[in-house]
Protein backbone atom coordinates (compact mmCIF):
# COMPACT_ATOMS: atom_id res chain seq x y z
CA UNK A 1 0.00 0.00 0.00
CA UNK A 2 2.77 2.44 0.97
CA UNK A 3 4.59 1.74 -2.28
CA UNK A 4 1.72 3.57 -4.00
CA UNK A 5 1.37 6.40 -1.49
CA UNK A 6 2.83 9.83 -2.21
CA UNK A 7 6.60 9.73 -1.69
CA UNK A 8 6.27 12.87 0.44
CA UNK A 9 3.73 11.14 2.63
CA UNK A 10 6.03 8.12 3.13
CA UNK A 11 8.91 10.50 3.84
CA UNK A 12 6.90 12.29 6.52
CA UNK A 13 5.67 9.00 7.99
CA UNK A 14 9.19 7.62 8.40
CA UNK A 15 10.45 10.91 9.86
CA UNK A 16 7.54 10.99 12.30
CA UNK A 17 8.36 7.47 13.45
CA UNK A 18 12.07 8.24 13.79
CA UNK A 19 11.93 11.69 15.43
CA UNK A 20 9.89 12.54 18.51
CA UNK A 21 7.11 15.09 18.07
CA UNK A 22 8.31 17.49 20.73
CA UNK A 23 8.87 21.22 21.16
CA UNK A 24 12.22 22.30 19.70
CA UNK A 25 14.29 25.39 20.31
CA UNK A 26 14.12 27.83 17.42
CA UNK A 27 17.06 27.63 14.97
CA UNK A 28 19.47 30.56 15.20
CA UNK A 29 19.67 31.07 11.44
CA UNK A 30 17.79 30.44 8.25
CA UNK A 31 19.19 27.62 6.11
CA UNK A 32 18.92 27.71 2.30
CA UNK A 33 21.50 25.07 1.38
CA UNK A 34 22.37 21.43 2.04
CA UNK A 35 25.19 22.53 4.38
CA UNK A 36 23.86 24.06 7.61
CA UNK A 37 25.69 27.25 8.52
CA UNK A 38 26.65 28.14 4.94
CA UNK A 39 25.07 30.60 2.53
CA UNK A 40 22.99 33.67 3.28
CA UNK A 41 20.30 34.01 5.92
CA UNK A 42 16.90 35.68 6.08
CA UNK A 43 18.23 39.05 4.86
CA UNK A 44 17.71 38.04 1.24
CA UNK A 45 13.93 38.11 1.77
CA UNK A 46 13.66 41.82 2.64
CA UNK A 47 15.78 44.54 4.29
CA UNK A 48 13.44 44.70 7.29
CA UNK A 49 11.31 41.68 8.12
CA UNK A 50 9.60 43.04 11.22
CA UNK A 51 5.86 42.42 11.09
CA UNK A 52 6.13 41.43 7.41
CA UNK A 53 3.81 38.75 5.98
CA UNK A 54 5.77 35.76 4.69
CA UNK A 55 4.69 32.53 2.99
CA UNK A 56 6.72 29.31 2.84
CA UNK A 57 5.75 26.73 0.19
CA UNK A 58 6.68 23.22 1.33
CA UNK A 59 7.66 24.08 4.90
CA UNK A 60 8.26 20.51 6.14
CA UNK A 61 8.95 20.55 9.90
CA UNK A 62 8.89 24.35 9.96
CA UNK A 63 12.42 25.21 11.13
CA UNK A 64 12.87 28.22 8.84
CA UNK A 65 9.36 29.53 9.46
CA UNK A 66 9.96 29.33 13.22
CA UNK A 67 13.21 31.26 12.85
CA UNK A 68 11.57 34.04 10.84
CA UNK A 69 8.59 34.39 13.18
CA UNK A 70 10.70 34.45 16.34
CA UNK A 71 13.84 36.28 15.33
CA UNK A 72 12.09 39.00 13.26
CA UNK A 73 8.51 39.01 14.48
CA UNK A 74 7.38 38.33 10.93
CA UNK A 75 3.93 36.78 10.40
CA UNK A 76 4.73 33.49 8.73
CA UNK A 77 2.45 30.95 7.09
CA UNK A 78 4.01 27.58 6.27
CA UNK A 79 2.16 25.37 3.79
CA UNK A 80 2.95 21.70 3.27
CA UNK A 81 1.29 19.07 1.10
CA UNK A 82 1.44 16.43 3.83
CA UNK A 83 -0.74 16.70 6.92
CA UNK A 84 1.77 14.68 8.95
CA UNK A 85 4.46 17.27 8.24
CA UNK A 86 2.15 20.05 9.37
CA UNK A 87 1.39 18.12 12.52
CA UNK A 88 5.09 17.68 13.13
CA UNK A 89 5.77 21.39 12.52
CA UNK A 90 3.03 22.27 15.01
CA UNK A 91 4.46 19.86 17.59
CA UNK A 92 7.87 21.53 17.24
CA UNK A 93 6.81 25.18 17.01
CA UNK A 94 3.03 25.45 17.46
CA UNK A 95 3.57 27.34 20.74
CA UNK A 96 5.15 30.34 18.96
CA UNK A 97 3.36 33.56 18.07
CA UNK A 98 2.92 34.79 14.49
CA UNK A 99 3.27 31.32 13.03
CA UNK A 100 0.63 29.30 11.18
CA UNK A 101 1.05 25.89 9.56
CA UNK A 102 -1.45 24.81 6.91
CA UNK A 103 -1.84 21.47 5.12
CA UNK A 104 -2.33 21.76 1.37
CA UNK A 105 -0.84 21.75 -2.09
CA UNK A 106 1.09 24.98 -2.65
CA UNK A 107 -0.80 25.80 -5.84
CA UNK A 108 -4.22 25.08 -4.35
CA UNK A 109 -3.40 27.15 -1.28
CA UNK A 110 -2.47 30.13 -3.47
CA UNK A 111 -5.51 29.72 -5.67
CA UNK A 112 -7.84 29.70 -2.66
CA UNK A 113 -6.24 32.67 -0.88
CA UNK A 114 -6.52 36.40 -1.55
CA UNK A 115 -3.74 37.38 0.85
CA UNK A 116 -0.76 39.43 -0.39
CA UNK A 117 2.71 38.70 1.00
CA UNK A 118 5.88 40.75 1.53
CA UNK A 119 7.97 37.72 0.55
CA UNK A 120 7.36 34.15 -0.56
CA UNK A 121 10.02 31.47 -0.24
CA UNK A 122 10.69 27.76 -0.63
CA UNK A 123 13.68 25.74 0.63
CA UNK A 124 13.85 22.49 -1.33
CA UNK A 125 10.07 22.78 -1.08
CA UNK A 126 7.23 23.08 -3.59
CA UNK A 127 9.12 25.15 -6.18
CA UNK A 128 10.70 22.66 -8.56
CA UNK A 129 8.09 20.04 -7.61
CA UNK A 130 5.05 21.79 -9.14
CA UNK A 131 4.74 22.87 -12.79
CA UNK A 132 6.45 26.30 -12.88
CA UNK A 133 4.08 27.62 -15.56
CA UNK A 134 1.27 27.24 -13.01
CA UNK A 135 3.02 27.91 -9.71
CA UNK A 136 5.08 30.99 -10.61
CA UNK A 137 2.15 33.11 -11.91
CA UNK A 138 0.14 32.13 -8.81
CA UNK A 139 3.04 33.30 -6.64
CA UNK A 140 3.25 36.60 -8.54
CA UNK A 141 -0.42 37.27 -7.85
CA UNK A 142 0.20 36.93 -4.12
CA UNK A 143 3.36 39.06 -3.91
CA UNK A 144 3.21 42.80 -3.31
CA UNK A 145 4.96 44.87 -6.02
CA UNK A 146 8.75 45.09 -5.57
CA UNK A 147 8.72 42.14 -3.16
CA UNK A 148 10.87 39.01 -3.27
CA UNK A 149 10.45 35.39 -4.20
CA UNK A 150 13.42 33.32 -2.99
CA UNK A 151 13.86 29.61 -3.43
CA UNK A 152 16.50 26.94 -3.22
CA UNK A 153 16.38 23.76 -5.27
CA UNK A 154 18.74 20.82 -5.64
CA UNK A 155 21.36 22.04 -8.11
CA UNK A 156 20.58 20.70 -11.62
CA UNK A 157 24.25 19.68 -11.97
CA UNK A 158 24.53 17.91 -8.63
CA UNK A 159 26.49 14.67 -8.86
CA UNK A 160 27.37 15.39 -12.51
CA UNK A 161 23.80 15.59 -13.84
CA UNK A 162 22.73 17.81 -16.70
CA UNK A 163 20.08 20.52 -16.45
CA UNK A 164 16.90 20.05 -18.52
CA UNK A 165 17.14 21.00 -22.15
CA UNK A 166 13.40 21.62 -22.29
CA UNK A 167 10.61 22.77 -19.96
CA UNK A 168 9.48 19.30 -18.88
CA UNK A 169 10.15 17.68 -15.51
CA UNK A 170 12.78 14.99 -15.09
CA UNK A 171 12.91 11.96 -12.84
CA UNK A 172 14.38 12.41 -9.38
CA UNK A 173 14.13 10.49 -6.11
CA UNK A 174 13.18 11.23 -2.54
CA UNK A 175 15.65 9.49 -0.26
CA UNK A 176 13.76 8.26 2.77
CA UNK A 177 15.20 8.15 6.27
CA UNK A 178 15.65 4.34 5.84
CA UNK A 179 17.75 5.13 2.69
CA UNK A 180 15.25 3.68 0.18
CA UNK A 181 14.47 5.97 -2.75
CA UNK A 182 11.07 6.73 -4.23
CA UNK A 183 10.72 8.35 -7.67
CA UNK A 184 9.34 11.88 -8.06
CA UNK A 185 9.12 14.38 -10.91
CA UNK A 186 11.27 17.50 -10.59
CA UNK A 187 11.78 20.52 -12.83
CA UNK A 188 15.59 20.59 -13.13
CA UNK A 189 16.21 24.04 -14.59
CA UNK A 190 19.45 25.97 -14.73
CA UNK A 191 19.39 29.68 -13.80
CA UNK A 192 18.77 30.73 -17.40
CA UNK A 193 15.67 28.58 -17.77
CA UNK A 194 14.38 29.73 -14.36
CA UNK A 195 14.90 33.32 -15.54
CA UNK A 196 12.75 32.65 -18.61
CA UNK A 197 9.94 31.15 -16.54
CA UNK A 198 10.16 33.87 -13.90
CA UNK A 199 9.99 36.54 -16.61
CA UNK A 200 6.87 34.98 -18.14
CA UNK A 201 5.26 35.10 -14.69
CA UNK A 202 6.07 38.80 -14.17
CA UNK A 203 9.10 38.24 -11.93
CA UNK A 204 12.61 39.59 -12.50
CA UNK A 205 15.60 37.39 -11.68
CA UNK A 206 17.73 39.31 -9.14
CA UNK A 207 20.36 36.66 -8.33
CA UNK A 208 21.26 33.02 -8.87
CA UNK A 209 23.85 31.56 -6.53
CA UNK A 210 25.23 28.07 -6.33
CA UNK A 211 26.57 26.37 -3.23
CA UNK A 212 28.82 23.38 -2.66
CA UNK A 213 28.88 20.86 0.11
CA UNK A 214 32.15 18.97 0.47
CA UNK A 215 30.25 15.89 1.68
CA UNK A 216 28.73 15.61 -1.81
CA UNK A 217 31.89 15.96 -3.92
CA UNK A 218 32.94 18.71 -6.28
CA UNK A 219 29.62 19.44 -7.93
CA UNK A 220 27.37 22.20 -6.61
CA UNK A 221 24.48 20.89 -4.49
CA UNK A 222 22.17 23.91 -4.16
CA UNK A 223 20.86 26.56 -6.55
CA UNK A 224 19.42 29.59 -4.75
CA UNK A 225 17.35 32.02 -6.80
CA UNK A 226 15.98 35.40 -5.79
CA UNK A 227 13.49 37.27 -7.93
CA UNK A 228 11.36 40.40 -7.56
CA UNK A 229 7.87 41.21 -8.63
CA UNK A 230 8.05 43.97 -11.20
C1 LIG B 1 12.71 18.17 1.01
S2 LIG B 1 11.34 18.67 2.02
C3 LIG B 1 11.88 20.29 2.55
C4 LIG B 1 11.17 20.79 3.78
C5 LIG B 1 11.61 22.11 4.36
N6 LIG B 1 11.46 23.20 3.43
C7 LIG B 1 13.03 22.04 4.87
O8 LIG B 1 13.91 22.69 4.31
O9 LIG B 1 13.26 21.31 5.85
C10 LIG B 1 10.09 19.01 0.78
C11 LIG B 1 8.74 19.34 1.39
O12 LIG B 1 7.88 19.84 0.36
C13 LIG B 1 6.59 19.30 0.57
N14 LIG B 1 5.88 19.36 -0.72
C15 LIG B 1 6.07 18.59 -1.82
N16 LIG B 1 5.23 18.95 -2.81
C17 LIG B 1 4.47 19.97 -2.32
C18 LIG B 1 3.40 20.75 -2.85
N19 LIG B 1 2.95 20.54 -4.08
N20 LIG B 1 2.85 21.69 -2.06
C21 LIG B 1 3.30 21.90 -0.79
N22 LIG B 1 4.31 21.19 -0.24
C23 LIG B 1 4.89 20.24 -0.99
C24 LIG B 1 6.85 17.90 1.08
O25 LIG B 1 5.75 17.34 1.76
C26 LIG B 1 8.05 18.12 2.00
O27 LIG B 1 7.66 18.40 3.32
Whose C-alpha lies nearest to ligand 1, atom 4? 60
pLDDT at 205: 98
With a 6 A CB cut-off, is 101 part of the ligand 1 pocket?
no
DSSP 225: E
Q: Say if residue 3's pLDDT is above 60.
A: no
With a 6 A CB cut-off, is 67 part of the ligand 1 pocket?
no
In angstroms, rounded to a whole number, what is the distance separating the alpha carbons of residues 206 and 105?
Answer: 27
With a 6 A CB cut-off, is 92 part of the ligand 1 pocket?
no
Greater confidence (214 vs 27) lies with: 27
Identify the CA nearest to 82 among candidates 13, 173, 21: 13
> Residue 157 half-sphere exposure, CB side, CA atoms within 13 Å?
11
Mean pLDDT for the chain overall: 96
Q: Say if residue 1's pLDDT is above 60.
A: no
Q: Say if residue 141's pLDDT is above 80.
A: yes
Amino acid sequence: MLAQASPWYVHALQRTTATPAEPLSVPARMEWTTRPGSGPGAEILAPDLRRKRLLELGCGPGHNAAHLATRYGAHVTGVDLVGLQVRRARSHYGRLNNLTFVAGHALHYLQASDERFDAIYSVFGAIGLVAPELLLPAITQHLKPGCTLAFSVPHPQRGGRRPSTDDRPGRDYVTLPDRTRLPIARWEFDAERWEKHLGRAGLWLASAQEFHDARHGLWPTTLLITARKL
